[in-house]
Structure 1
Amino acid sequence: MTLRHARRIGGATAAALAVGLLAAPGAAAVPGNAVTDPKALPTPGSAATGVRTDACDDTTAPGWLEVANPVLTVSAASPQVRFKVWDDSTPEHDKVVDTAVDVTGGTARLATSGLADGHSYSWQTWPAYDPGSGKPTPTCHFRVDLTHPGLSVSSTDFPESGSGTTPGKYAGENGVFTIQGLDAAPAGGQASGVACYQYVLNGTLGVGWDCASGHTVKAGADGTAQLTLKPKDWGTNILTVQAMDDAGNVSQPVSYSFYAPWDSRPKPAVPGDVDGDAVPDILLPDAQGNLQIISAAAEDTTPTSVVPARLAPLHAGWQDDLVLHRGWANVHGPGDDLLVRSQGNPQVLYSYANWQKGDFSGEYPTLVYKPSRCIDAAANTIPCPEGYNDEDWSGVDQIVAVGSRHKGSTPAWPGLLAVENGKLYAYVEALRSYQVAQPVATSGDWSGYDLIAPGQDAAGNLTVWARERATGALHAYPVVRQDNGLLDFSALADPSANVVATGFTTAAYPTLGSSGDGDGDGKPDLWAVTPDRHLVTFSGWSAPTDLGALR
């Protein structure tokens, strides 16, 4: 029995291994020399998890290789190292390599070739000629998959062009595409299995090594994935999909052509909706700085569309930008415009007009100037309070878009509520600009609160919420529409009033916001992001649902 432990991983067929064996010169052993740091190159891994490992223990699942000729390496001080490799997919765990290799520059390298597709291997090394003079390496493990996967695409919502089946959905609506993968196992071997699918709608496909890159959907245990996409343009669309197995082998791209009919049905205008489907949206950056548009009614964190990082105000991504949305100018819509303040340029507030249902690729931002005139609740001009900065937006600590001062879904540019030097101001909207600032609360200190704008409920009533950072208490303040067209913010005079819930600490939910009514019950809802970047939605401010990790 050799020093390696027996480990059965794969199937039960013999494997052929052609190894370039290096002749072992007659060198004397150097006592006390150990071999360390065993590695296979390339490093075995899993495309599904993104983890690479040499699995040099009894518990770690072996990683996969997509090559038949890995190089095995160890560090050693002795003149020679003995390599042994076993095929664990054969009934007797056949030893397929047993050879001594010279050490050069402190490293011994064994170049292998001809490893069998679908087989699992173990390997270990010792100091040559005198195994008792040095400690051997642990037994390491890897698996080999040389077969490329395949796939097929189907959809009842948007049937393949030429099928003769009428589409069940229209352009601008979400459709479900079923992707079925196949990763056939070789005779007597094991397949790594389809890990994920990378896709692009009407574009060029780019493939990364693992399944963590953008525009990726993971495969289920049976190799199937459900992909929800919204074709924005009516007419012929092309969905291109490529499968990747757990070893990193990729299939040939499959192009699925389908027709999305023009939707002539009128859609209700819903403030909080960016992509034009009459459902409010949550806007959050992904790890690459792209801006994700995620439906507030979603069951997971898959975005309906993504605004590329290059379209951010400073072209460096949206990850550090404050993005507001709760209405639109009456020259276009429905679909919220964006108001953006970049951390890299806090003096400026940018406006992005939403002409294409959440596709801002053809838009250039314009500047929104801060008003220099102040009014009271009766719309009378008054001196602006001491400390008010009428030059730019740099003194504003936080801003939310509260929605229109007009009741119902009349297209309107959103009013703003902002904290500046601990004081609360409202900015009255005009056509893509703000004419006046209204001091709302100049006595209470709002610097310790996070403003939240849930928008209006089914009856058209507005409310402002706030999270007290020190305690995690949630406050709700009713906002009344006045006859003069302004909003009555008098309920916000005391920020500590009107506690409606607790437990919303900054430790549990570093980011807390609302996009409106996500669950369709007529009442606005909260959403939050946890420290580990999970998106959590609420019904109102109760019944949290974890939608999973954000991209």
Structure 2
Amino acid sequence: MLATAALAIPLAVHFTRQDEGKSAEAKGPAKPVEMGDALSAAKRTGKDVEATAERSANTTTWAQPNGRFKLRVSSSTVRAKVGGEWKPIDTDLTRVEGGFAPKAINGRVVFSAGSKQAAGAGGGRASRGVTRAALTADVPTGGWTDLVRLSADGHDLTVKWPGSLPEPVIAGPRALYENIRPGIDLLMTAQDGGYSHLLVVKDKEAAADPLLGRLNYLLSSPDLSFHLDEASYSISARDDKGEEIAGAPTPFMWDSSGEIATTIGEPSPAPSPEAAEHPTLALPGLAGAEGAHAKSATASLSADGALTVVPNQELLHDAGTVYPVFIDPSFKGHKLNWTLLYKTEGSSSFYNGQNFNASGTNEARVGYETRTFGTSRSVFTFDFDDKLHGATISSAWLRALETHSWSCTASTFDVYDTPSISSSTTWNNSDNGSFWGNRISEASTAHGNSSSCPDAWVAVDVKKSAVAGAANGWSTLTLGLRARNEGTANSWKKFLANGEATPYVDIEFNRPPNEPLQTDMETFPGGTCNTGTPVPSIGKTDLTFQVRATDPDGNLKNVYLNIWSRTTGAGVYGEYLEPDSEGIVKVTLPWSSFAHNNQYAWTASAFDTDGATTPGGPPGDARCAFNIDHTAPSSPAIASDDFPVPGTDGAEWSTGRFPAPGSVRFLGNGTSAEEIREYQWSINRPTFDKKASPSQGDSATAQVTPETAGPNVIYARTVDKAGNVSVPVSYVFYVRPGDKLDTPGDVTGDAQPDLLSIISSGKLYTSPADKSGDIDAGMPAATDAGMPVPDDYWKDPATGASALISHSTDWFPGDGITDMIARMPDGRLYVYPGDGNGRFDVSRRMEILLPAGSPDPASFTQIVATEDVTGDGMADFFALADGGNTFWAFSGYSGASFSTAKQIGGTVWGKRDIVQVRDVSGDGVPDVVFRDDSMASRGLALRKGKPAPSGGVDLSSFASAAASNGGQDITYGTTGWSRSAMPFLRGTPDVTGDGIPDFWVTSTDGNLYLYAGGNATHGARSLIDGGGWHTIKAIG
């Protein structure tokens, strides 16, 4: 018998696979089948039809004849996209540039092709007489060699081997590097998205090799950091948000003393053809063995990614050890995973089973067995697709292939909805009521013991968990399995966890129709649904209502149209209308249905064939509205190719860059050309000081020059030949920024400082200012990689606490575009990159790190971002911290962190708010303007800064009045500046054009004001916007 030992090192990233005795996968047509088309075919044929356009690596979607859909979610992948086409997973290795790679997997795995100087190249075995120096992490012989290069969730990761490697023997998915040391082989096995790794120590002589005293590897990644869990010795690879992308469980090792377990009815795997010449490939212990001698190894990780695994020397050298011995740690992608919890090794992680069983024994375990006296539990993660959020869940079944039971007498296991798992999840840190506190279902089974109760798929109802996930927007379902009675051996079961027959969840669902959008609701005349002010007017004419409804599942049934008088409350129309093939419903009501001088509102709700419905559209509290005036002309319609309507998602912008002019058309909208004298219009203020006369029928064209980048507003009204004037209408459009870099305070690219605000719902808005400081319109200011951001993103939905925000200049990534700094409700400080259009991408945010000795950002009550005021060429940042009681300055920003933190003031700042940190006095040195709520007669104070020797301001001169330039604070504003009267004051670079910084103020009267700056006292105030500013959560 060949005496051998195997070591598996923590270096495998793995994304697994699924199936059932389950439905065969349909062959997709050349053109992917959309969900709506699949549903039509299912109703026509009476059979399930796959919506092939919805395929992913681990999900399959079918339309059913009952009008619902079934989503199958595997705990691991079932297919991989190769060359734009979905193909079955194929891990067999093939030669590629730089090494050997699997033929069809998700991600990338490339094994080393070996190095020329390595002995034993080409599969030959090195002589036992060859002596090599011990390989160490500090000074590796031959330098570091890339052992494997892989990608996990879009991130690259490389594992390096200390020294050279021979050319591998390739056998299917395996790459065998023979005799890397005398009597020691290295076996790499490709898996979907990752790999497993084994060092095979063949006998006791090989076990004495110095290599096995300390195994060294080098981990590297351009954008992942590596972290060691000290309790379990597991390793996680994390992105810049701290999310685990890949994980390595506890290093583990076992010998060959156990019995090889086989599944009832399945033959033992045949050795590969290469095994005749390369016997390591035929070792039964490669697949793990029940009851083998096993021990965990220890690991350490240095800051530069040097990983050291220390094998258990007792197991290596014990007289009872049966060689080979296997050491198995491994990396695996985080999104699709499972873990085995093993009481006997309570502090060890068996993430994806990789260190409990080597590649091939991928079975989850549940219950207690008396062969090794071990108790096990298993937990699986299933992706929970966004399309299930808000859906009605009709059923959800967890299905798993039971491959072993202690006997043919059924025993009960329970399924729990558990917290998420990671590479550091162990028996010890999960054995509590918090982890196992939500039992959702049970099953009593016995399969896989003998031919009397062979392997079989079992199904468990997990609808409760799926319903909760749909209602709460979960991204995953995490389901834990444990025996009801863990004190009896009859509870012992195994389930296949990886490979072709992994567990999966079948979810039957129906999504409600989409709530009709404002842009899809129109009247003729009248145009697109108007929810703002002024409310448009419609004359004495029949009125057509049109709604376009959509359903994500393609099973739209009808649309309920509701019209009523706001003036009297009386209903006008309420009917269910059947849509055409485009989802459009239309109805015309005679003019006599509407009373003169009444205001009317209307909504539309969509229903599907399963009974699901939407709220009355358009989304939000505002309603489509119009006035009826049987004497005045109708309000005009406005259209423009140069300045299109932004749309619900704000995606449509002007064709030209600011300040390029464009054409705008005014139309009669029900008023005939013969009746129209002129259209009166204006931009950004309802002055109506410009005129346009019809030239072609009822159409008139005007040239418009926008005043700001970002949102602009055209106000227009119709005047008939009798002198009657229509109710005015407004037309909002977005203007693309100019081609110059942003100036301080500008976020829209027009060189004018702008204002950011968080409204009461928690949504972030940009309000561009014009050259007079006036604000005429706002727009949503946050996107998530181009998608909408939830309304409450910027506030804590539980407490209502808002983010703190501020902007000044370019902070990240140095592209000349102004960015925003935010202290979020989670208590952390972030920079949100601007897109140059007045919006900020939350998906690209980066946490800002503060130097040692800094206050906790969670204690901040105000933040103020400025341009460079300290003279180091980098933007600076100020904050009131410790509940507002201390005044701090942060400087030396490097794109990720500040290098210096300086406390400027103490508890006296508890009654103060920072208004401005800029040169106000005009002497070329930055000053600080602050509100002093403790002094009724001096509501605003100016503290002049002293110049620092190296340029900029000496921050110490802000510490007290006596330390300032002049030795005293100057009264900048007298009375009326209390926090109760003026909730928010925010400074801005010069808006009014006099070279002195100005500031915005929100008032409890609901208005927004701009105060002109002055060198010694503030200037006049201007009313900027009226109504609603008293409900604002933050400005910055």
Find the counterpart in structure 2 of residue 463 from structure 1.
927
Structure 1 distance, partners of 2:993, 2:777, is: 19
Structure 2 distance, partners of 1:514, 1:534, is: 17
Find the counterpart in structure 2 of residue 498 from structure 1.
970
Q: Compute the displacement of 1:48 (Å).
A: 6.7
Q: Compute the displacement of 1:393 (Å).
A: 0.9
Q: Is the 8 A contact 1:178 1:227 kept in 2?
A: no
Secondary structure, in 3 states, of the residue corresponding to 1:447?
A: helix
Find the counterpart in structure 1 of residue 792 from structure 2.
316
Find the counterpart in structure 2 of residue 329 from structure 1.
811
TM alignment of 1:61-76, pairs within 5 A:
none
Structure 2 distance, partners of 1:415, 1:114, is: 61
Structure 2 distance, partners of 1:448, 1:506, is: 9
Change (3 A) 1:369 1:241: same
Q: Compute the displacement of 1:405 (Å).
A: 3.4
941, 952, 976: which is aligned to 1:475? 941
Q: Compute the displacement of 1:220 (Å).
A: 4.3
Q: Compute the displacement of 1:276 (Å).
A: 3.1
Change (3 A) 1:448 1:194: farther
Find the counterpart in structure 1 of residue 1025 from structure 2.
548
Secondary structure, in 3 states, of the residue corresponding to 2:985?
A: strand
Find the counterpart in structure 2 of residue 517 from structure 1.
990
Q: Does 1:274 align with 2:773?
A: no
Structure 2 distance, partners of 1:341, 1:452, is: 18
Q: Compute the displacement of 1:413 (Å).
A: 3.0
Q: CA RMSD in A?
A: 5.6
Find the counterpart in structure 1 of residue 867 from structure 2.
403
Change (3 A) 1:180 1:317: farther
Q: Does 1:416 align with 2:896?
A: no
Change (3 A) 1:362 1:145: farther
Find the counterpart in structure 2 of residue 86 from structure 1.
none
Find the counterpart in structure 2 of residue 291 from structure 1.
765
Q: Which has the larger radius of gyration?
A: 2
Q: Compute the displacement of 1:360 (Å).
A: 2.4
Q: How many residues align?
A: 381
749, 774, 782: which is aligned to 1:300? 774
Find the counterpart in structure 2 of residue 228 from structure 1.
706
Change (3 A) 1:450 1:395: same
Q: Compute the displacement of 1:459 (Å).
A: 6.2
Structure 1 residue identity aligned to 2:878: L
Q: Is the 8 A contact 2:912 2:930 kept in 1?
A: yes
Q: Is the 8 A contact 2:717 2:728 kept in 1?
A: yes
Q: Is the 8 A contact 2:659 2:706 kept in 1?
A: no
Change (3 A) 1:118 1:526: same
Q: Is the 8 A contact 1:536 1:544 kept in 2?
A: yes
Structure 1 distance, partners of 2:831, 2:657, is: 26
TM alignment of 1:418-433, pairs within 5 A:
418-421=880-883, 422-432=885-895, 433=897
Structure 2 residue identity aligned to 1:452: V
Q: Is the 8 A contact 1:195 1:219 kept in 2?
A: no
Structure 1 distance, partners of 2:891, 2:666, is: 53
Q: Is the 8 A contact 1:313 1:365 kept in 2?
A: no
Q: Is the 8 A contact 1:146 1:249 kept in 2?
A: no
Secondary structure, in 3 states, of the residue corresponding to 1:445?
A: helix
Q: Compute the displacement of 1:223 (Å).
A: 8.9
Structure 1 residue identity aligned to 2:668: L
Q: Compute the displacement of 1:147 (Å).
A: 9.0
Q: Is the 8 A contact 1:456 1:516 kept in 2?
A: no
Find the counterpart in structure 2 of residue 202 from structure 1.
none
Q: Does 1:539 align with 2:1008?
A: no
Find the counterpart in structure 2 of residue 436 from structure 1.
900
Q: Compute the displacement of 1:467 (Å).
A: 0.7
Q: Is the 8 A contact 2:658 2:706 kept in 1?
A: no
TM-score, normalising length: structure 2: 0.31
Structure 2 residue identity aligned to 1:228: P
Secondary structure, in 3 states, of the residue corresponding to 1:531?
A: coil
Give CA-to-partner distance per residue, 1:126-175, whole Å, 9 cap, x none: xxxxxxxxxxxxxxx975599976545579xx799xxxxxxxx9624475
Instruction: Compare 327-336 and 303-312 and name the one that shifted more.
Output: 303-312
Give CA-to-partner distance per residue, 1:450-479, whole Å, 9 cap, x none: 111243467642111111124261111123
666, 683, 693: which is aligned to 1:180? 666
Find the counterpart in structure 2 of residue 530 from structure 1.
1003
Q: Compute the displacement of 1:449 (Å).
A: 0.7
Structure 2 distance, partners of 1:254, 1:512, is: 28
844, 847, 860: which is aligned to 1:364? 844
Q: Compute the displacement of 1:321 (Å).
A: 2.4
Q: Is the 8 A contact 1:535 1:549 kept in 2?
A: yes
Change (3 A) 1:420 1:519: same
Secondary structure, in 3 states, of the residue corresponding to 1:437?
A: strand
Higher RCO by CA contacts (8 Å cutoff, separation 6 or greater): 1
Give CA-to-partner distance per residue, 1:365-409, whole Å, 9 cap, x none: 1111232246xxxxxxxxxxxxxx4xx31122222224313559x
TM alignment of 1:157-196, pairs within 5 A:
171-173=657-659, 175=661, 180-185=666-671
Q: Compute the displacement of 1:434 (Å).
A: 1.4
Find the counterpart in structure 2 of residue 381 from structure 1.
none
Structure 2 distance, partners of 1:72, 1:493, is: 62
Structure 1 residue identity aligned to 2:1024: L
Q: Is the 8 A contact 1:286 1:550 kept in 2?
A: no
Structure 2 residue identity aligned to 1:326: S
Q: Is the 8 A contact 1:481 1:487 kept in 2?
A: yes
Structure 2, gaps ≥5 residues long: 1-529, 545-562, 569-588, 599-626, 645-654, 693-701, 719-724, 796-801, 962-967, 1029-1036
Structure showing the higher helix proportion among its residues: 2
Structure 2 residue identity aligned to 1:371: P
Q: Is the 8 A contact 2:832 2:842 kept in 1?
A: no
Structure 2 distance, partners of 1:506, 1:176, is: 44
Change (3 A) 1:329 1:512: closer
Structure 2 residue identity aligned to 1:115: S
Q: Compute the displacement of 1:439 (Å).
A: 1.7
Structure 1 distance, partners of 2:597, 2:864, is: 57
Structure 2 distance, partners of 1:416, 1:484, is: 20
Structure 2 residue identity aligned to 1:316: D
Q: Is the 8 A contact 2:991 2:997 kept in 1?
A: yes
Change (3 A) 1:150 1:301: same
Q: Is the 8 A contact 1:333 1:354 kept in 2?
A: no
Structure 2 distance, partners of 1:51, 1:355, is: 33
Structure 2 distance, partners of 1:324, 1:261, is: 21
Q: Compute the displacement of 1:435 (Å).
A: 2.2
Q: Compute the displacement of 1:114 (Å).
A: 6.1
Secondary structure, in 3 states, of the residue corresponding to 1:335?
A: coil
Structure 2 residue identity aligned to 1:548: D
Secondary structure, in 3 states, of the residue corresponding to 2:858?
A: coil
Secondary structure, in 3 states, of the residue corresponding to 1:295?
A: coil
Secondary structure, in 3 states, of the residue corresponding to 2:910?
A: coil
Secondary structure, in 3 states, of the residue corresponding to 2:792?
A: coil
Structure 2 distance, partners of 1:261, 1:309, is: 17
Q: Is the 8 A contact 1:527 1:535 kept in 2?
A: yes
TM alignment of 1:342-361, pairs within 5 A:
342=824, 344-345=825-826, 347-356=827-836, 358-361=838-841
Find the counterpart in structure 1 of residue 90 from structure 2.
none
Structure 2 distance, partners of 1:64, 1:186, is: 11
Structure 2 distance, partners of 1:328, 1:427, is: 16
Give CA-to-partner distance per residue, 1:255-300, whole Å, 9 cap, x none: 99x9x8984xx65x63222233333222224566231132263453
Change (3 A) 1:174 1:538: farther
